[in-house]
Amino acid sequence: MVKSVLIVTDAWRPQINGVVRSIERIVEELERRGIAVTMLTPADFKTFPMPGYGEIRLSRTLMGPVYARIEAANPDAIHIATEGPLGLIARRWCRRNRFPFSTAYHTQFPEYLRARLPVPLRVSYRFLRWFHGAASHCLVGTPHLKQLLEQRGFRNVDIWQKGVDTALFNPARRKSLPHAGPVFLYVGRVAVEKNVEAFLDLKLPGTKLIVGGGPALEKLRAAYPEAVFVGPKEGEELAGYFASADVFVFPSKTDTFGLVLLESLASGTPVAAYPVTGPLDVIGDAPVGVLDEDLGRAATAALERPRDGCRSYAEGFSWSASADQFLRFLPSARAS
């Protein structure tokens, strides 16, 4: 039985995104079960801004300091959450010491990279197959993504379904917003890979409300003065926006899951999205949202979805069940 876990992640506070929130919730669940968790994050090192995305800070370190922290933690099991500098060094330590580990595929990195630089997908996926191929299990959020990665040559992919905090994200937080209705909400990074402009370009009644920060924020704020940009929000304030909107619009075509989909549904707010990885698995044919290649048509139709059904649907996703899956695919060195 695993009694101690080391989680290695290049994505960490002050970043606010689904990867960070997912890891935080899993840590809470593991600690609730009496499992000791040690985090290895950029907070332990000096950092530098990621080229082209300065809000993300990457660790500036060498193998020695990382190795020392891994060995000081002396964990039963290791999970590597990201493919950044810390993830690469931790992977090398595990391979050298024949220590089994799991990884997670949180971000469609090849598609994100191609949105910024002319890097062929085959090159990025070759790197990712190498990185994740050494793991006992590569965890993904949805069956659709599992299938996509297997088509790319991955052979060790398993599903790790995410959960939602139904106490925080709750219809009871719904209140009147000082904007013309209906209110169409976007929550997430304001960056090119999130396809936010597809949402902002829609001809919709009422108000488009954008919650989040990112490298494209000021550019889009200037280009779309009719939209309301409120910057990044957390906790009860974020939950209030989810519950108070009329439709949550998810324009991304490159997300691996989309935790915000569940947070919206738990808040009683229906979803409009493209029929792609993430929405296909979270929403599918359920009457809690509309998936359509015409995002404007999906947003308008989603207004007719009953809010109480959204909440009931989201209650089927729990972080406890997510932690069960995480532990099931977490190889223990002590048991090997």
| Token couple for 65 | 């300091």
Question: Which comes out higher in pLDDT, residue 113 or 288?
Answer: 288
Stretch (H or E) spanning 229:
strand 228-231
**Letter for the amino acid at 171?**
P
Question: Token pair of 127, please?
Answer: 């790197």
pLDDT over threshold 60, residue 336: no
pLDDT tens per residue, range 115-172: 666 778 889 999 999 999 999 999 998 888 899 999 999 999 999 989 999 999 999 9
pLDDT in tens, 5-61: 999 999 998 887 888 989 999 999 999 999 999 999 999 998 877 666 556 677 888
Residues 6 or more apart whose CB falls under 8 angstroms from that of 292 comprise 272, 274, 275, 298, 301
Q: Tell whether 195 and 153 lie within a shared domain.
A: no
At residue 40, φ and ψ (nearest 5 deg) are -115, 105
Do residues 41 and 180 both lie within one domain? Answer: no
Does 285 share its domain with 323?
Answer: no
φ/ψ of 148, rounded to 5, equals -65, -45
211 vs 11, 169, 220, CA distance in Å? 20, 15, 13
Same domain, 195 and 257: yes
Q: Establish if 335 belongs to a structural domain.
A: no
Residue 114: inside a domain, yes or no? yes
Edge-to-edge strand ranges of the sheet holding 183-187: 228-231, 207-211, 183-187, 247-250, 271-273, 289-291
Sequential DSSP letters for 138-166: EEES-HHHHHHHHHTT---EEE------T
Per-residue pLDDT tens for 300-333?
A: 999 999 999 999 999 989 899 999 999 999 998 7
Range of the domain at 138: 4-162+319-328
Query: 73 and 26 in one domain?
Result: yes
CA distance 279 to 302: 14
336 located within any domain: no
- Mean pLDDT over residues 281-287, rounded? 93
- Our count of domains for the chain comes to 2
Residues 12 and 156 in one domain: yes
Query: What per-residue confidence (pLDDT) applies to 310?
Result: 97
